[in-house]
């Protein structure tokens, strides 16, 4: 992999960032809502989000308290009366705010988009966070708290919840536990069964290596233990998935444009961009990653066989980090009031990056239109 792609290949995300704890000035938008971190009133570290030129719009970059810890959210939309869509990023520990406008900007006229850097990562990192507080249970609680906060803030009974990769685990369990708070759940790169996923991905990567006559990859992949899975070898598998376009992006030529857009994001400062070691170290020492039983035993077909709300999956045909074939199998077995899968023929794990227009269309003309008819 070249240097740009290596920078982009960590745990479903792309560029390292660090948050410097800072206060914000505040202003009032035409809607009467308090707005933080606009270009005319940036956060103390100089970060801001571009304004939205709409009488009833909102563009806000701000810290909120979730589970007793200050965490940052980005809210952008042209009409605060539109439905709320909360995005749960991947990782764990791969923040979403820096690429929110790049990947989700086309949704801002139809939803009030809420992107959250989860506790301890990205803009939500600070040195005093207890790594013992980063657990699956706490992250689920933070997700619930954010949903409740946005419902109250915008006076809406329900929100749309969308998660990618690790965020799809948070999203799916939240959808099971709190259906009364949600219009629908949307999974991108939906994690279904970790152990089976490794075997499917390994088979695909080895087949591609054989097709290409790539002897280094054949030797490397043939040396892996996948039945049972040796989880310590996953770095090798993910390396080859990236190399063959089966990882985060199928069209790896898109990495430079994505990286450039992230470096230009005003929501993060140069200091944020320059340092990600601190939060990666925090996550590495967290209970969430030091004991990954929750991941190794993941099996949504048996753990979450039914939902009380509509379920939508968005899957890249070349996704082998969370294999699309398992997502399709899960959908077939799933019981829900409505369910649908949208395939992206030229994407792997991140169709929200690779096929942005098709991704936006699926959300607007598929999810939003479909759930509106149900009401």
Q: Is residue 363 part of a domain?
A: yes
- How many angstroms separate the CA atoms of 358 and 82, rounded? 21
Query: What's the number of domains the chain is made of?
Result: 1
Cα 231 → chain centroid: 22
Other CB atoms within 10 A of residue 157 CB: 9
pLDDT at 271: 74
State the pairing for strand pair 34-36/26-28.
antiparallel
- How many angstroms separate the CA atoms of 288 and 148, rounded? 24
pLDDT at 21: 22
Q: Is residue 203 part of a domain?
A: no
- How many angstroms separate the CA atoms of 217 and 215, rounded? 5
Concatenating the DSSP letter of every residue in 286-331 gives: SHHHH--HHHHT-BHHHH--B-SS-EEEEEETT-TTTTHHHHHHHH
Whether residue 123 contacts residue 103, with contact meaning beta carbons closer than 8 Å, is answered with no
Q: Is residue 132 part of a domain?
A: yes
Question: What are the percentages of helix, strand and coil residues in the chain, rounded to 5?
Answer: 45, 20, 35
Q: Is residue 136 part of a domain?
A: yes
Provide the 8-state DSSP code for 349: S
CATH of the domain at 37: 3.40.50.1820
- How many angstroms separate the CA atoms of 208 and 363, rounded? 32
Q: Is residue 107 part of a domain?
A: yes
Whether residue 160 contacts residue 83, with contact meaning beta carbons closer than 8 Å, is answered with yes
Rounded to 5 degrees, φ, ψ at 69 are -125, 135
Terminal CA-CA length for the chain: 48
Q: What are the tokens at 228?
A: 């049972």
pLDDT at 373: 64
- Domain range holding 351? 17-195+276-374
The set of long-range contacts for 291-299, using a CB threshold of 8 Å and a minimum separation of 24, is 292/231, 294/136, 294/169, 295/194, 296/194, 296/195, 296/229, 296/231, 297/194, 298/169, 298/191, 298/192, 298/193, 298/194, 299/192, 299/193
Q: Is residue 182 part of a domain?
A: yes
- Return per-residue pLDDT of the chain as tens, 375 residues: 443 343 343 333 333 222 222 223 344 443 444 455 667 777 767 889 998 888 899 999 989 999 999 999 999 999 999 999 999 999 999 999 999 999 999 999 999 999 999 999 999 998 889 999 999 999 999 999 999 999 999 999 999 999 999 999 999 999 999 999 999 999 999 999 999 999 999 999 999 999 999 999 999 999 999 999 999 999 999 999 999 999 999 999 999 988 888 888 899 877 777 658 899 999 999 999 999 999 999 999 999 999 999 999 999 999 999 999 999 999 999 999 999 999 999 999 999 999 999 999 999 999 999 997 665
Per DSSP, helices labelled H in the chain are: 3-7, 100-104, 136-154, 166-177, 194-212, 215-222, 234-243, 255-263, 270-274, 277-284, 287-290, 293-296, 300-303, 324-333, 351-354, 356-361, 369-374
Q: Is residue 220 part of a domain?
A: no
Peptide bond into 228 cis (omega under 30): yes
- How many angstroms separate the CA atoms of 178 and 12, rounded? 26
Peptide bond into 27 cis (omega under 30): no
- How many angstroms separate the CA atoms of 227 and 238, rounded? 17
Q: Is residue 1 part of a domain?
A: no
pLDDT at 248: 96
- Cβ-in-10-Å burial (0-12, 13-18, 19+) of 343 comes to middle
pLDDT at 35: 54
């Amino acid at each position: 992999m070249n240097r740009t792609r290596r920078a982009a290949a960590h745990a479903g995300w792309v560029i390292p960032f660090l948050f410097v704890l800072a206060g914000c000035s505040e202003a009032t938008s035409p809607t009467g809502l308090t707005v933080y971190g606009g270009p005319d009133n940036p956060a103390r570290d100089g970060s801001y989000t571009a304004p939205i030129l709409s009488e009833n719009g909102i563009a806000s970059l701000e810290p909120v308290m979730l589970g007793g810890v200050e965490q940052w959210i980005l809210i952008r939309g042209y009409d605060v009366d539109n439905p709320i869509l909360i995005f749960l990023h991947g990782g764990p520990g791969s923040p979403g705010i820096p690429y929110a406008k790049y990947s989700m900007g086309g949704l801002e006229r139809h939803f009030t988009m809420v992107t959250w850097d989860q506790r301890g990562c990205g803009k939500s990192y600070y040195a005093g966070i207890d790594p013992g507080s980063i657990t699956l249970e706490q992250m689920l609680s933070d997700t619930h708290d954010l949903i409740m906060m946005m419902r109250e803030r915008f006076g809406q009974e329900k929100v749309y919840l969308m998660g990618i990769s690790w965020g799809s685990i948070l999203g799916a369990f939240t959808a099971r536990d709190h259906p009364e708070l949600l219009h629908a759940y949307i999974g991108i790169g939906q994690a279904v069964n970790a152990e089976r996923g490794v075997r499917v991905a390994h088979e695909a990567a080895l087949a591609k290596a054989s097709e290409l006559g790539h002897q280094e990859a054949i030797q490397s992949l043939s040396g892996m233990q996948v039945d049972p899975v040796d989880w310590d070898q996953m770095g090798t598998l993910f390396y080859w998935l990236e190399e063959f376009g089966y990882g985060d992006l199928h069209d790896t030529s898109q990495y430079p444009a994505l990286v450039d857009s992230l470096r230009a994001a005003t929501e993060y400062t140069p200091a944020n961009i320059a340092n990600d070691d601190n939060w990666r170290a925090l996550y590495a020492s967290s209970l969430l990653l030091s004991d990954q039983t929750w991941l190794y035993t993941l099996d949504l077909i048996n753990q979450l066989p039914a939902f009380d709300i509509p379920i939508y999956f968005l899957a890249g045909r070349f996704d082998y980090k969370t294999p699309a074939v398992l997502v399709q199998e899960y959908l077939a077995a799933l019981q829900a009031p409505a369910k649908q899968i949208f395939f992206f023929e030229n994407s792997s794990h991140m169709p929200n990056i690779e096929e942005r227009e098709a991704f936006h269309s699926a959300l607007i003309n598929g999810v939003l239109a479909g759930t509106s008819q149900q009401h």
